[in-house]
Amino acid sequence: MSDNVQQYITKTQADYARCIDDDRLEEWPNFFHGPCLYKITTSSNYRDGLEAGIVFANSRGMLSDRVSALRDANIYERQSYRHILGQPSIISKEGPMVRSETSFLVARILQDGDTSIYATGRYFDLYEIADEAAKLNERTVVCDSSRIDTLLALPL
Amino acid sequence: MNKIVLPPNESSPASWPEGLTRVPYWVFQDQKIYAEEQRRIFQGPNWHYLALEVELAEAGDFLTTQVGDTPVIVTRDSDSEIYAFENRCAHRGALICLEHRGKHRKDFSCVYHAWNYDPQGNLTGVAFKDGVKGKGGMPDSFKMEQHGPRKLRIAILHGLIFGSFSEDVPSIEEYLGEEILTRIERVLGGRTPVVLGRFTQVLPNNWKLYMENVKDSYHASILHLFFTTFELNRLSQKGGIIVDESGGHHVSYSAIDPDAEKDVEYAKQQLRSESEYKLADPTLLQGFDEYHDGVTLQILSVFPTFVLQQIQNAIAVRQIVPRAVDKTDLNWTYLGFADDTPEQRLTRIKQGNLVGPAGYISMEDGCVGGFVQRGIAGASDERAVLEMGGAEAKSSESRVTESSVRGFWKAYRANMGL
């Protein structure tokens, strides 16, 4: 069972990364289910228990608004990400609810071709395992560095 | 007084255009200007934001920050007073403190040769000062009290700690003037701020381009399309620009017009049925009446590099730190207040989405400075045009003006002798 859990989470995370990296952002909110929480913060804020995020959404509507704002309102140079994910570590399991931690590295590719390491960090996730799949309830993206280059448009 | 050394393509200081409506692009590009700014502005008679008093709540608390290029340690000593001094060992110049912040610090010791400092920045110990077995050591002429990092003057205003390296800087009250003081008090007066988060946005441009942007109310509804796209900016808002006498400090504010509010309610009804775009979760913008004066936006800047922001209920201080001619750190500190209810706290955190590096209405500010920096490459003989709203640097009821941007240049030129 726990091997399966690992597999389900790995699959969900791989699909999540492809969704963003392939610029299918309209599908991105669909990765969240139930009482949705998505937050981007830094390791020092996380360590100190500071509540605010660089991005904070506690409803799927707020995730959709992120995407429509990026498409229709916000101004930024075209850019894309390449997510490289580590293996998820299962932190705790209570019934169908599983907490995991996964390392990520995100490279950002700007329209002039410049590719750089944009962010490294950890996903702290809460999944619900149902129907042989892991559904994301909460994702706290904790960036290792508190420095963000220029702006953060796309989700991590 | 040292003379400004101008870039080679400019023949004399007179080449800075007359008046306040033209800004030569070399001022964002020239290495010598950057160095001169460090000396005249950041070491000069100005007040620089260092930290929040609440970040140094207890004796022994300390943090490190920067005034321009210069690293600085800020402490609260056992006498409960705030002190600040250069984070540079008097011996060989190494950093004295490597940590960003911490507690319970009774002294600071340089790792290189263990020269030791008290929390007020006094040199209190020199390793092997008297040598070993009567040999070596410092000469008798060496007096510890004659050596030590430079200390900053400190001014505390509504929980904001400012520091200055200059003995000539006027009092903070005189420096800011009544109108700016009142507007700082409006946001912070009599309240205990709580830090909700800290982030640094790395900007690919000269620091002055960010300060211009902060003071530029003309761009706000053009560059930041979030409100207009989501048709949330139908409020017919009144407001204005305050520019202080020096030109260097400003306030831009807008207020809900009670007469227009009925129309807004009407418009909202229309919006739901007619508009293609709307927020799926409009709770993002549902705030609470915090200041009871109808002002939903107040952006305040203090020359040279401090910003206090109220955007609805998103309160933040911003500290601008120049890192190079074309690189700037923008340090964000998001604030709540100790007496916030949980609902108010959540509102602030939700409205945090409006600001910062991922902010719906300020992520663009992170990139436009870079667009200018790249755009003016190779054009150091050219000049920016700042004629919107006239040629002066005065307070104005209209926000379609570059008055406070011109004010910045007025103060900048006075500081730089240009």
C-beta of residue B305 within 8 angstroms of C-beta of residue B164: no
Please say if the pLDDT value at position B9 is more than 60: no
**pLDDT the model gives residue B259:** 60
CA distance linking residue B397 with residue B275, whole number of Å: 31
Please say if the pLDDT value at position B353 is more than 50: yes
Please say if the pLDDT value at position B375 is more than 60: yes
Please say if the pLDDT value at position B257 is more than 80: no
Q: Over chain B, what is the mean pLDDT? A: 90
C-beta of residue A31 within 8 angstroms of C-beta of residue A19: yes
Three-state SS string across chain B, please? CCCCCCCCCCCCHHHCCCCCCEEEHHHHCCHHHHHHHHHHHHCCCCCEEEEEHHHHCCCCCEEEEEECCEEEEEEECCCCCEEEEECCCCCCCCCCCCCCEECCCCCEECCCCCCEECCCCCEEECCCCCCECCECCCCCCCCHHHCCCCECEEEEECCEEEEECCCCCCCHHHHHCHHHHHHHHHHHCCCCEEEEEEEEEEECCCHHHHHHHHHCCCCHHHHCCHHHHCCCCCCCCEEEEEECCCCCCEEEEEECCHHHHHHHHHHHHHHHHHCCCCCCCHHHHCCCCCCCCCEEEEEEEECCCEEEEEECCEEEEEEEEEEECCEEEEEEEEEEECCCCHHHHHHHHHHHHHCCCCCCCCHHHHHHHHHHHHHCCCCCCCEEECCCCCCCCCCECCCCCCHHHHHHHHHHHHHHCC
Indicate left, alpha or beta for B268 from its phi (over 0: left) and psi (-120 to 50: alpha): alpha
Whether residue B196 and residue A61 make contact (CB cut-off 8 A), yes or no, is: no
CA distance linking residue B85 with residue B164, whole number of Å: 10
List chain B residues with CB under 8 Å of A68. Answer: 277, 280
Q: What is the pLDDT of residues B159-169, one digit of tens each?
A: 999 999 999 99
| B190 Cβ neighbours under 8 A, 6+ residues apart | none
Q: pLDDT band for B70, please (50, 70, 90 cuts).
A: very high
Q: What is the mean pLDDT of residues A52-60?
A: 97
Please say if the pLDDT value at position A68 is more than 70: yes
Tell me, what DSSP letter sits at residue A87? P
Closest CA to B51 of B41, B65, B30: B65
> Rounded to a whole number, what is the distance in Å from the CA of A62 to chain B's nearest CA?
5
Q: What is the mean pLDDT of residues B57-69?
A: 98
Please say if the pLDDT value at position B118 is more than 60: yes
Strand-pair category, B108-109 with A115-130: unpaired
CA distance linking residue B20 with residue B5, whole number of Å: 21
Distance of CA B387 to the CA centre of its chain: 25
3-state secondary structure of A30: helix
Q: pLDDT band for A2, please (50, 70, 90 cuts).
A: low
**pLDDT the model gives residue B272:** 41
Q: What is the pLDDT of residues B225-249, one digit of tens each?
A: 887 777 555 445 678 999 999 999 9
Angle between helix axes B363-375 and B207-215 (nearest 10 degrees) is 120
Q: Could you tell me the pTM of the whole model?
A: 0.93
Best of B66, B281, B340 to disrupt the A interface (most A CBs within 10 Å) is B281
Q: pLDDT band for B274, please (50, 70, 90 cuts).
A: very low
Peptide bond into B24 cis (omega under 30): no
Q: What is the mean pLDDT of residues B212-232?
A: 80
Whether residue A76 and residue B281 make contact (CB cut-off 8 A), yes or no, is: no
CA distance linking residue B387 with residue A149, whole number of Å: 32
| B414 Cβ neighbours under 8 A, 6+ residues apart | B246, B247
> Rounded to a whole number, what is the distance in Å from the CA of B268 to chain A's nearest CA?
18
CA distance linking residue B74 with residue B54, whole number of Å: 12
Mean pLDDT is lowest, of A63-77, B5-19, B215-229, B314-328, for B5-19
Q: What is the mean pLDDT of residues B353-366?
A: 93
Percent of chain B with pLDDT over 70: 90
C-beta of residue B187 within 8 angstroms of C-beta of residue B298: yes
**Cβ atoms within 10 Å of B213's Cβ, excluding its own:** 21
A to B CB pairs, distance under 8 Å = 120
Q: pLDDT band for B271, please (50, 70, 90 cuts).
A: very low
Q: pLDDT band for B12, please (50, 70, 90 cuts).
A: very low
CA–CA distances in Å: residue B182 to residues B186, B187, B257, B311: 6, 9, 21, 17
List chain B residues with CB under 8 Å of A61. Answer: 279-281
Mean pLDDT is lowest, of A3-7, B145-149, B310-314, B322-326, for A3-7
Tokens of B90: 């008097």
Q: What is the mean pLDDT of residues B134-151?
A: 93
**pLDDT the model gives residue B232:** 58
Please say if the pLDDT value at position B349 is more than 70: yes
**pLDDT the model gives residue B223:** 83
ipTM attached to this prediction: 0.96
**pLDDT the model gives residue B225:** 80
Phi, psi of B386 (to 5 degrees): -125, 70
Q: What is the pLDDT of residues B154-194, one digit of tens each?
A: 999 999 999 999 999 999 999 999 999 999 999 999 999 99
Q: What is the mean pLDDT of residues B194-210?
A: 97
**Residues linked to residue A124 through DSSP beta bridges, in sequence order:** A101, A140
Whether residue A55 and residue B367 make contact (CB cut-off 8 A), yes or no, is: no
Nearest to A75 among B225, B281, B356 (CB): B225
**pLDDT the model gives residue B270:** 46
3-state secondary structure of A24: coil
CA distance linking residue B392 with residue B406, whole number of Å: 7
Whether residue A148 and residue B370 make contact (CB cut-off 8 A), yes or no, is: no
Phi, psi of B258 (to 5 degrees): -55, -35
Tell me, what DSSP letter sits at residue A86? -
**pLDDT the model gives residue B14:** 42
- A110 contacts chain B (CB < 8 A): no
Please say if the pLDDT value at position A129 is more than 90: yes
**pLDDT the model gives residue B264:** 54
- A87 contacts chain B (CB < 8 A): no
Please say if the pLDDT value at position B275 is more than 90: no
When comparing pLDDT for B182 and B286, which is higher?
Answer: B182
> Rounded to a whole number, what is the distance in Å from the CA of A5 to chain B's nearest CA?
32
Please say if the pLDDT value at position A1 is more than 70: no
Strand-pair category, A133-143 with A115-130: antiparallel
Please say if the pLDDT value at position B6 is more than 80: no
Q: pLDDT band for A20, please (50, 70, 90 cuts).
A: very high
**pLDDT the model gives residue B276:** 63
Please say if the pLDDT value at position A59 is more than 70: yes
Mean pLDDT is lowest, of B118-127, B269-278, B316-325, B339-348, for B269-278
Percent of chain A with pLDDT over 90: 94
Rg of chain A taking only CA atoms, in angstroms:
15
